[in-house]
Structure 1
């Protein structure tokens, strides 16, 4: 078996199994519009998908980030979902996730375009020792989502990800004169008549409230059909969807370097973006193909899974876009 396997392809993208550093190296410089990923976190408890110790984590993830910087287009972005952690044996927080953006910006030349926070209201209480047993800490339910850019002016359009108006705002739009008078507020904000204009939605905040509760989608059903465990650390589709809509346009290239169950690829496909996903675990890559199988019976699912596990390539649809991968990678 080679160290790089072209596992499956769709109309817009490709899934590869292999070392992401080697796979990234094969991509053309200045070719990627967005890298969005959720790497294994530097947790104290070892996970089955693999995670580094806190003392070595920063060096490890910085190697990937340096290569991402080279491969991004000048107006491209690097979005990193990263969870916090506690120090070993004590109810005090590690600072590794805060040292990460400082290092990326100081040493690699990234800019921190904005810091986002993903609040998962459905997250179970953790860590058990400090929250459930001793009851001395609150539930850890927020991840940092760092948005890095190669320049101070990355491509972005917030109008593509507007939030629904609140009921109160809808009433205001129906009859602005009944709700407010244009004037300068005590805070210094000048609220003019344009405040009552319907812009199609509200500007979202950098706190993204997205529950992670998928339990019956095609991916989970496929895993059950072939008797394998679903990836234990999947992020919800609305997280990559927000950033893909916000930071890219149709036919732009989106890459996930720690793809896991390939939520990113599925969302990019739906939104008409070219995509590439990389993961080191062949079983995870094979199972992620279930996201692209429509209404097939269990025999078809099993045969697709077995074929990818054997090292063969599966084409779900004829690819109709070009991807910047060197031919030698095949």
Structure 2
């Protein structure tokens, strides 16, 4: 790990660890955010603890107090977010305790986040993470009584401080918030590849009112524009992070979201390097922040893609072990032998 990182100048607190492009900090994000300069963050991607029925080891708020708790972060989130920046939250739903009735807490939270007199954020677009490998849950209503189906989708809110008022943004103008779907194009399906090759499809008017041009679908645009549904199975069991946790007898973070989520939004909402012409941010390249860092997958993904990153995490054990993502096995072994980080105190003793 490096002795210092390019984002260290943004904070008064000392970091728990640094990498070539980022720094991780231990503490309550409500306090750590106050140390950041105004408009210094280009993208916040995070997955906070959900308002679940049962308390987890990593800590989570009860449903009846969750939204009040979450809104405590928002004034500082707004302050540190750049004018072109985005705030992306992956937030799962829940059933009410003891009843087969869905809680509406995440929708009520969205209403507060976008209320002009409270959160004052704009909903740029809603996304959905579909986990096809999700186990049947909740157990009582799906497995036991069999009166509900598996809850396999979580909501992702893409929010910003402002939205281009004029929907017809000039080509030489930068959009607000920063975004380009050309950075997240997906491979064409086999049928679309065949269509492009043959040029054969039914043009003309559709029942929806669309009038399909005779050449509209035959153009090769290097890929398909993605939908707002991210399909990813959260079943990885042999990643470097998990291998190192097992190798050195540490508990891994129990609620990690898949790499596809931070990867998609980092690509979509921040430009790719090189940054010779980057002049929209506080630093010389985009800064990505996760205010509920967990195992710091967001930071590692940002580093791999050449962005600066910062991670805030209140649970010290999870933050300490998150540095495994940035270290080779021999580096971890040396660090533990020398006890440079105090990490050994978190090792399982059973």
With normalisation by structure 1, the TM-score equals 0.89
Pair 63,296 (structure 1): closer, same or farther in 2 beyond 3 Å? same
Asked if the contact 1:225/1:302 (under 8 Å) is kept, the reply is no
* Aligned with 2:263 (options 237, 241, 256): 241
User: Do the aligned residues in 1 keep the contact of 2:335 with 2:341 (CA within 8 Å)?
Assistant: no
Shift of 1:301: 5.6
Instruction: State the SS of the aligned residue for 2:288.
Output: strand
Extract unaligned runs of 5+ from structure 1.
312-330
Alignment of 1:299-314 (within 5 A): 299-300=333-334, 302-303=336-337, 306-309=339-342
Shift of 1:4: 5.3
**SS of 1:246 mapped into structure 2:** helix
Match of 1:72 among 68, 81, 85: 81
| Cα distance change, pair 182–235 in 1 and its aligned pair in 2 (3 A) | same
Q: Aligned-pair distance for 1:298?
A: 6.1
2:127 aligns with 116
Note if contact 2:324-2:332 (Cα within 8 Å) is conserved in structure 1.
no
CA distance in 1, matches of 2:258, 2:245: 17
Q: Which residue of 2 aligns with 1:170?
A: 193
Contact 1:4 1:19 in 2 (8 A): no
CA-CA distance at 1:162 after TM superposition: 1.0
Higher relative contact order (CA closer than 8 Å, sequence separation 6+): 1
Aligned positions, number: 306
1: CA distance, partners of 2:180 / 2:341: 38
Q: CA RMSD in A?
A: 1.7
Structure 1 ranges of 4+ moved more than 6 A: none
Distance in 1 of aligned mates of 2:108 and 2:190: 40
Query: Within 2, Cα distance between the matches of 1:275 and 1:212?
Result: 23
Asked whether the equivalents of residues 226 and 302 of structure 1 are also in contact (C-alpha less than 8 Å), the reply is: no
Aligned partner of 1:317 in structure 2 is none
Q: Displacement, 1:5? A: 4.9
What do the CA deviations read for 1:22-67 (whole angstroms, capped 9, x no partner)?
Answer: 1111001111110010000000111000000011100111111221
Which of the pair is proportionally richer in helix? 1
Is 1:180 the counterpart of 2:214? The answer is no
Partners of 2:102 and 2:14 in 1: CA distance: 39
Q: For residue 128 of structure 1, report the CA deviation from its aligned partner.
A: 0.7
Matches within 5 A, 1:1-330: 5-106=14-115, 107-152=118-163, 153-176=176-199, 179-192=200-213, 193-249=215-271, 250=273, 251-296=285-330, 299-300=333-334, 302-303=336-337, 306-309=339-342
Kept after mapping to 2: 8 A contact 1:5/1:18 = no
Deviation at 1:227, TM superposition (A): 1.0
Distance 1:63 1:131 in 2: 34
Q: CA deviation at 1:194?
A: 3.1
CA gap 1:121/1:73 in 2 versus in 1, 3 angstroms: same
For 1:327, the equivalent position in structure 2 comes to none
Change (3 A) 1:297 1:274: closer
Using structure 2 for the length normalisation, give the TM-score.
0.84
Aligned-pair distance for 1:299?
Answer: 2.4
C-alpha distance in structure 1 between counterparts of 2:248 and 2:133, whole Å: 27
> Cα 1:34–1:223, aligned 2, differ >3 Å: closer, same or farther?
same
Shift of 1:209: 0.6
Deviation string 1:116-145 (CA, Å, 9 cap, x unpaired) is 010011111111111111111100110000
Q: Deviations over 1:257-287 (max 9, x none)?
A: 0010000000000000000001011111111
Distance in 2 (CA, whole Å) between partners of 1:297 and 1:277 is 21
**Is the contact between residue 38 and residue 82 of structure 1 (CA under 8 Å) also seen in structure 2?**
yes
- Deviation of 1:217 (Å): 1.1
Cα distance in 1, alignment partners of residues 244 and 206 from structure 2: 56
Distance verdict in 2 for CA 1:163–1:71, change over 3 Å: same
